A and B are shown apart, each in its own frame.
Chain A
């Protein structure tokens, strides 16, 4: 699509977007929207008509989706029961004339290494215009449970390698990077994870800057929300979102990506 067509499509779409808008953001998200913590996001991510959006990652993204249906874009069985399905239904409602095609290829237990082994079928072949990736907790835990430390160099090297591979196959792809998070004070996340774990969110943020990606600072999103809630309200085990956490993550995705 050349620049002239793109601009034409965007003005036509913008008229529809004004009527279809209406994010349901709580007060803290509204405050955050005006903040500076958004590398690469600028004034919002434009979603041209027909955009293909791929969500990928580990169990947080997987959401118990039915894997055999993964090619059915926007389908309830393909997108699962988590923040991906919630965000997809909201995006399609906000932009009903955009013809968005949303996929989910998150898999429980995935590390970047595992993701790269399936990159061809689970990412590149779907020809996404946008790839939203949330990965890192398992990468950290694999190393931590074996050595008592993380392996941030490996994580960084592999993350960059993966994004480079996607970009060389799909030169126009835009990335959306979720900050790997671990909520303290929960069942599985002990203080022993820190400060080692902190290198991982920092690397994800660095990738976002390097690749001009929107970045969703899930760690601080969870931390701020936790302040006003009962203990473990947004995640009982520190990694997987509760039903409130699912909405929290979806709100954050929409707020920081700020689709237009």
Chain B
């Protein structure tokens, strides 16, 4: 029971918000990131961009949009299938251009083919990147480099906006789950610095920001973290649905 007194008002409203988030049902409803949702419009072409979490094992030989095998088995397929089934008159199309192992600079390097060169120009671009940037930096220098990540993510979003005038952006929060795999845990602590960076860059670019860490934390706390990820980085089964619901929660049609 949450007792709201004048003294504890602020703290308790935060607690209430947190309590609401414990139920996956509450993922439906107002986005708790920037507080606004991205409005999808008829004929929107949605490009999902990122690393392995986005890639979802899709078939890269399928270049046409909206084909199940071309979208993979991850959150991209789940989100796309949800929007396609629910809004048949909206004529949405979906591209998956996530690539395993990609860092942000590589996503910039392939914008010509994988973003601007698509047969149907994206009108919405969704980006999830960060964990591999951190991993590379750790390997090379022994620590993360959030300033470098900030510069690269900003550049990626700026370039997308320049190449697709009027494009609307979604940025998903890079997340990680500690306590699942020892190897991941030992490399993690510096990674969390990347999260406020992603939020800041997203907001500066006018993107809708989709928090993910708190959803994984709360779901993991309640049900066990290993139910949502087996290695602390890739979402596993229920974890894929968790990302899917957070993404859907951040848009409105």
Interface size for chain B: under 10, 10 to 19, 20 to 34, or 35 or more residues?
A: 35 or more
Query: Which residues from chain A contact B25 at a C-beta distance below 8 Å?
Result: 19, 21-22
Closest chain B CB from A183 CB (angstroms): 14
- Asked if A230 contacts B86 (CB within 8 A), the reply is no
Instruction: Return the contact of B237 from the options A92, A242, A247, A250 (Cβ within 8 A).
Output: A92
Contacts of A93 in B (CB 8 A): 24, 237-238, 241-242, 245
Docked-complex contact B24 and A22, CB < 8 angstroms: yes
- Residue B56 lies at the interface, judged by CB distance under 8 Å to chain A: yes
Whether A193 is near chain B, meaning CB under 8 Å from some CB there, is no
1/0 contact string of B222-245 vs chain A (CB within 8 Å): 111001100000001110111011
**A interface size (C-beta, 8 A):** 44
**B residues less than 8 Å from A250 (CB atoms):** 81
Tell me the smallest distance from the CB of B212 to a CB of chain A, in Å: 14
* A241: chain B residues within 8 A (beta carbon): 68
Which of B81, B236, B240 is packed against the most chain A CB atoms within 10 Å? B81
Complexed CA–CA distance, A243 and B68 (Å): 5
Closest chain A residue to B248, Cβ basis: A24
| With A97-B223, A247-B84 as contacts: A86 and B236 at CB distance below 8 Å | no
1/0 per position for A68-84, CB-CB distance to B under 8 A?
A: 00000011110111100
Does A85 sit at the interface, judged by CB under 8 A? Answer: yes
Contacts of B168 in A (CB 8 A): none
Whether B57 pairs with A251 at a CB distance below 8 angstroms is no
Interface of B: prevailing SS: helix
Query: CB distance B88 to A89 under 8 Å?
Result: no
A228: Cβ under 8 A from any B Cβ = yes
With contact pairs A76-B74, A228-B88 given, residues A247 and B242 touching in the complex (Cβ less than 8 Å):
no
A247 B223 Cβ-Cβ under 8 A: no
Residues from 208 to 260 in A contacting B, C-beta threshold 8 Å: 225, 228-230, 233-234, 241-248, 250-251
Which residue of the partner chain, among B23, B94, B244, contacts A243 with CB atoms under 8 Å? B94
Q: Which B residues lie within 8 Å of A92 (CB)? A: 227, 237-238, 241
Contact of B68 among A81, A97, A233 (CB under 8 A): A81
C-alpha spacing A16/B236, complex, angstroms? 20
Cα A251 to Cα B86 in complex, Å, equals: 11
- A244 and B81 contacting across the interface, CB-CB below 8 Å: yes
Q: Say yes or no for B77: interface residue by CB 8 A criterion.
A: yes
Cβ of B135 within 8 Å of any chain A Cβ, yes or no, is no
Tell me if B89 is interfacial: C-beta within 8 Å of chain A: yes
Chain A CB within 10 A, most for which of B56, B238, B241, B244: B238
Instruction: Indicate whether B58 reaches chain A with its CB closer than 8 angstroms.
Output: yes
Shortest Cβ gap from B65 to chain A (Å): 9
| Residue B17, interface by CB 8 Å | no
A12–B223 CA distance with the chains assembled, in angstroms:
13
Q: Chain A residues near B94 (CB, 8 Å)?
A: 243
Which residue of A is nearest B93, CB measured? Answer: A243
Q: Name the interface residues of A68-114: CB closer than 8 Å to any CB of B.
A: 74-77, 79-82, 85-86, 88-90, 92-93, 96-97, 102
Please give, as numbers and ranges, the residues of chain B lying within 8 Å of A20 by CB-CB distance. 24, 223
Tell me, rounded to whole Å, the shortest Cβ–Cβ distance linking A37 to chain B.
Answer: 20
Residue B15 is within 8 A (CB to CB) of chain A in the complex = no
A-B complex: 7 closest residue pairs judged by Cβ atoms? A229-B88, A247-B81, A93-B241, A247-B85, A244-B84, A92-B238, A96-B223
A selection of 7 A-B contacts at a CB cut-off of 8 Å is A19-B22, A75-B236, A77-B57, A79-B73, A93-B241, A97-B224, A243-B84
List 5 additional A-B contacts (Cβ < 8 Å) besides A81-B57, A102-B237, A228-B89.
A63-B73, A75-B237, A81-B59, A225-B88, A230-B89
